[in-house]
């Protein structure tokens, strides 16, 4: 099994977190995006979207980080991370859908302005963009706070793919001066995530 990643990518980190947590023979393959390797025919045959992560397992070529996370956890029999009970599984998957459909749409433009531009020398953050997106982000963080003020984890009573999905999106949050302090249960939850060995092992800043 090969997992194609770039260590700087939060979407790839989502899959790498699961790869670290499960007992499977996963070979991690670095895709050199700076040289455009992800747009070469060999990689496009695996992921026509020219994005990381992607996974190959025999004849299967899989893309979309959440699908890869589900596949790895299911293949490893980790029903704690990805339950088989329909109601419990739907509880996890709703957070995975919500992450891409709502949370990231509010978060990513802010991270781009305040963190990514700095990484790549793309100029100053446009605080107008940040100000426009902050109300949306606060709305989504309030949804998480509502759940996490009553429970330690987003779904079930233990770590699941739901937590890993959303935590990966927050990879660059510490450098973005987000209003996280307004959501103490989210901060406490993120603290629990940051204590995971898998979190430390996939820290992109260790690769810079
Ligand atoms: N929805 C996709 C998003 C993947 C994604 O956007 N990956 C970025 C890196 S964070 C990428 O590879 N971008 C390169 C490109 O679009 O050419 C997933 O969850 O896997």
71 and 145 part of one domain: no
Residue 12 lies in a domain: yes
pLDDT at 42: 98
Burial of 143 by CB count in 10 Å (0-12 exposed, 13-18 middle, 19+ buried)?
middle
* Nearest atom (ligand 1) to Cα of 11: 10
CB 151 within 8 A of CB 86: no
Q: Cα of 13 to ligand 1 centre, how many Å?
A: 11
> How far, in Å, are 7, 143, 178, 188 from residue 117 at the CA level?
17, 28, 16, 28
Whether 80 is in a domain gets the answer: no
Residue 64 CB–ligand 1 contact under 6 Å: yes
- Would you say residue 81 lies in a domain? no
CATH number of domain containing 49: 3.40.30.10
Alpha-helix residue ranges (DSSP H) falling in the chain: 10-21, 41-44, 65-75, 86-98, 104-111, 117-119, 127-148, 161-169, 184-194, 197-201
Structural domain that includes position 43? 2-75
Domain assignment present for 40: yes
CA torsion 98-43-172-195 (nearest 10°) is 80
Same domain for 137 and 199, yes or no, is yes
Number of domains in the chain: 2
| Cα–ligand 1 centroid distance for 1 (angstroms) | 20
Sequential DSSP letters for 29-87: EE--TTTTGGGSHHHHTT-TT--S-EEEETTEEEESHHHHHHHHHHHTT-TTTS--SHH
- Using CA atoms, how far apart are residues 12 and 182, in angstroms rounded to an integer? 28
* Two tokens, residue 145: 């706070």
Which residue's CA is the nearest one to ligand 1's atom 10? 9
Domain boundary among 43, 75, 107: 75
pLDDT digit of tens for each residue in the chain (208 aa)? 999 999 999 999 999 999 999 999 999 999 999 999 999 999 999 999 999 999 999 999 999 999 999 999 999 999 999 999 999 999 999 999 999 999 999 999 999 999 999 988 999 999 999 999 999 999 999 999 999 999 999 999 999 999 999 999 999 999 999 999 999 999 999 999 999 999 999 999 875 5
CB count, 10 Å around CB of 199? 19
Q: Tell me how far apart the 2 most distant CA atoms of the chain are, in Å.
A: 48
Burial class (CB in 10 A: 0-12, 13-18, 19+), 91: middle
The closest-lying atom of ligand 1 relative to the alpha carbon of residue 33 is 14
Q: What is the pLDDT of residue 117?
A: 94
pLDDT of residue 208: 57
Verify that 95 and 180 share a domain, yes or no: yes
């Amino acid at each position: 099994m090969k997992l194609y990643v770039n260590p700087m990518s939060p979407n790839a980190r989502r899959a790498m977190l699961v790869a670290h947590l499960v007992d499977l023979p996963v070979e991690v393959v670095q895709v050199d995006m700076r040289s455009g390797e992800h747009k070469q025919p060999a990689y496009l045959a695996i992921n026509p979207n020219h994005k990381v992560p992607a996974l190959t397992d025999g004849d299967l070529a899989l893309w979309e980080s959440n699908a890869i996370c589900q596949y790895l956890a299911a293949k490893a029999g980790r029903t704690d991370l990805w339950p088989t009970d329909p109601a419990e599984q739907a509880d996890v998957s709703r957070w995975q859908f919500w992450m891409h459909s709502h949370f990231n749409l509010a978060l990513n433009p802010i991270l781009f302005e305040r963190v990514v531009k700095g990484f790549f020398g793309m100029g100053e953050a446009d605080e107008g963009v940040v100000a426009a997106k902050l109300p949306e982000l606060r709305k989504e963080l309030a949804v998480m706070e509502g759940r996490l003020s009553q429970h330690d984890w987003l779904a079930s009573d233990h770590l699941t793919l739901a937590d890993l999905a959303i935590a990966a999106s927050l990879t660059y949050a510490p450098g973005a001066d987000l209003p996280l302090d307004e959501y103490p249960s989210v901060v406490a939850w993120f603290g629990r995530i940051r204590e995971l060995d898998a979190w430390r092992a996939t820290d992109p800043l260790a690769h810079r």
